[in-house]
């Protein structure tokens, strides 16, 4: 029986992103998707500059760009329409090489991700298929599946399995991971509209209507798409609130049935949960299988895609026997605290929206506001791991934070387009004895690279494939000592044994 390098359960944005990143590194990928085809209605509506950088690495950013809309920001208003909090998003290109905030129609993204996967012979997609059990052996995982409504079943083997199977993850159940609940749970009615006529008066900003009796959210999507999210009272019945006439009664202050059509209506229970264990041996969790967040930061999909960007290069290094399997321990170590920081902040934003005492709720986010009172986006640091552990002589707190994306001359290309999904070293001196996994930038010949090192007050910097800073040092020799062993030419790594994974 064929043994795949990796098996991904679930082909939403996280699973499709991960599959692309693994395939582009030459790994065989089995995808098990329970649905027959992609879901063609709106769900996620936002992503940020870091995530567009991931799409850039996959090779779909330029195709996606005409389909999305730059987001100018979000405003929080009270029942008298007084501005409580302004969260503007920069309209200039950020240090990540893209705009700070985008609005999207999720099916557009999923079509691009799936189309990209079709170009890889290493990818095998099984639709209408769900995993019923996963059993681990010393060398691989055995996945039993059921296809369609029939009782037909198949068995597959893969060296590693990643559950990207959503909030009700079967993979999470299989590995018996408990869930830490952060205490936020509310029912909201989500309504997606398609405008029949131009309505510029609705505005381009997202609006949080911080009304104690009925908090609401308005979002402008790309083109003629608009979304309202409306909190439900405990006494309200889901069947009643999703009736068309009731929906238009709720939206009457802004829009009527003559001006738009309903594309989708659904009741969601917004939760704040993080899985306690993200890995059991050869099985990993990613995306909503690992964490659920209230939507108020627009980071639900983003967190999952960061999971994929973090895990893909580590799996490739281990599978190709370039790194010891202990590298995989850094996935949960880094991603779990990072994801939790977004969940916690989303809860704080939710408290502003639904609080009777807005001042107390605003004080909870005071550390993320500028002197002018404007909200700033959070940029949490990765959790401490074998790769990000604090060093006594570290020059800066930059390790574990997003790395700047600069341009290479004379082509004027962004660095990620030149380096590919690899480690990057920026230095004034050529590094010696490194593996092919490293792409070197001669800072002496690149003005923007020189500015980067000057800003860091350093002579050398290591940028990881997931575009987080690995290390910043005074010399290339010192940087070499900080690099993980698998990035150096260490011949014994070709003979290591991975069968003892636990």
Nearest in space to 331 (alpha carbons), one of 289, 383, 403:
383
> What residue segments make up the domains of the chain, in order of their start?
3-69+101-179+272-349+358-363, 407-483
- Say whether the peptide bond before residue 410 is cis (omega within 30 degrees of 0): yes
Nearest in space to 352 (alpha carbons), one of 211, 225, 171:
211
Check residue 493 and give its pLDDT: 32
| Tally of CA atoms within 13 A in the half-sphere of 342 that contains its CB | 26
Check residue 236 and give its pLDDT: 94
The CA-atom distances, in angstroms, between 423 and each of 249, 287, 386, 460, 462 are 54, 24, 16, 13, 7
- Residue pair 86/375 in contact (Cβ under 8 Å)? The answer is yes
Per residue in 435-448, pLDDT tens?
788 999 999 999 99
Taking only Cα atoms into account, the Rg of the chain, rounded to an integer number of angstroms, comes to: 23
CB atoms within 10 A of CB 160: 25
Token representation of residue 412: 């004027």
Residues in the chain with pLDDT values less than 70: 149-150, 356-357, 371, 389-396, 489-502
Q: What is the CATH number of domain 3-69+101-179+272-349+358-363?
A: 3.50.50.60
- Residue pair 152/146 in contact (Cβ under 8 Å)? The answer is yes
Instruction: Give the pairing type, strands 153-163 and 283-285.
Output: parallel
Contacts with 478 (C-beta within 8 Å, 6 or more apart), sequence order:
460
Check residue 482 and give its pLDDT: 83
**418-424 long-range contacts, CB within 8 A, separation 24+:** 420/57, 421/21, 421/24, 421/25, 421/57, 421/312, 421/313, 421/465, 422/465, 423/462, 423/463, 423/464, 423/465, 423/470, 423/487, 424/462, 424/463
Check residue 486 and give its pLDDT: 83
- Residue pair 375/85 in contact (Cβ under 8 Å)? The answer is yes
Per residue in 236-245, pLDDT tens?
999 999 999 9
């Amino acid at each position: 029986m064929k043994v795949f390098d990796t098996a991904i359960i679930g082909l939403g944005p996280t699973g499709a992103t991960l599959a692309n990143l693994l395939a582009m590194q030459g790994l065989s990928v089995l995808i098990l998707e329970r649905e027959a085809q992609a879901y063609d209605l709106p769900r996620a509506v936002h992503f940020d500059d870091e995530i567009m950088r991931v799409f850039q690495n996959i090779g779909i950013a330029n195709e996606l760009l005409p389909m999305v809309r730059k987001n100018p920001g979000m405003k929080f208003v009270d029942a008298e329409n007084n501005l409580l909090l302004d969260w503007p998003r920069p309209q200039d290109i950020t240090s990540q090489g893209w705009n700070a905030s985008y609005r999207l129609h999720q099916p557009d993204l999923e079509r691009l991700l799936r189309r990209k996967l079709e170009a890889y012979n290493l990818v095998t997609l099984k639709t209408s298929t769900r995993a019923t059990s996963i059993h681990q052996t010393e060398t691989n995982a055995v996945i039993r599946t059921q296809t369609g409504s029939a009782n037909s079943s198949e068995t597959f083997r893969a060296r590693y399995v990643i559950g990207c199977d959503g909030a009700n993850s079967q993979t999470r159940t299989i590995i018996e991971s408990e869930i830490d609940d952060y205490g936020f749970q509310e029912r909201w009615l989500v309504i997606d509209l398609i405008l029949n006529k131009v309505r510029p008066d609705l505005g381009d900003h997202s609006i949080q209507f911080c009304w104690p009796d009925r908090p609401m959210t308005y979002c402008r999507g790309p083109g003629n798409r608009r979304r309202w999210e409306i909190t439900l009272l405990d006494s309200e019945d889901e069947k009643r609130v999703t009736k068309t006439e009731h929906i238009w009664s709720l939206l009457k202050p802004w829009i009527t049935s003559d001006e738009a059509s309903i594309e989708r209506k659904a009741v969601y229970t917004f939760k704040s949960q993080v899985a306690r264990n993200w890995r059991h041996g050869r099985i990993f969790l990613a995306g909503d299988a690992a964490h659920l967040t209230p939507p108020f930061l627009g980071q639900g999909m983003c967190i999952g895609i960061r999971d994929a960007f973090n895990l893909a290069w580590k799996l490739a290094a281990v599978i190709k026997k370039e790194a010891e399997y202990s590298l995989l321990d850094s996935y949960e170590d880094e991603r779990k605290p990072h994801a939790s920081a977004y969940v916690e902040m989303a809860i704080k934003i939710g408290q502003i929206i639904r609080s009777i005492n807005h001042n107390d709720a605003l004080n909870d986010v005071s550390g993320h506001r500028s002197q002018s009172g404007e909200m700033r986006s959070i940029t949490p640091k990765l959790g401490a791991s074998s790769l990000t552990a604090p060093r006594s002589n570290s020059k800066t707190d930059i390790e574990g934070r997003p790395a700047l994306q600069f341009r290479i001359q004379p082509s004027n290309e962004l660095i990620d387009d030149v380096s590919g999904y690899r480690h990057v070293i920026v230095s004034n001196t050529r590094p010696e004895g490194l593996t092919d996994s490293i792409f070197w930038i001669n800072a002496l010949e690149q003005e923007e690279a020189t500015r980067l090192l000057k800003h860091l007050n350093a002579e050398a910097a290591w940028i990881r494939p997931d575009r987080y800073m690995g290390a910043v040092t005074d010399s290339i020799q010192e940087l070499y000592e900080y690099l993980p062993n698998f990035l150096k030419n260490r011949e014994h790594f070709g003979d290591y044994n991975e069968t003892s994974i636990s």
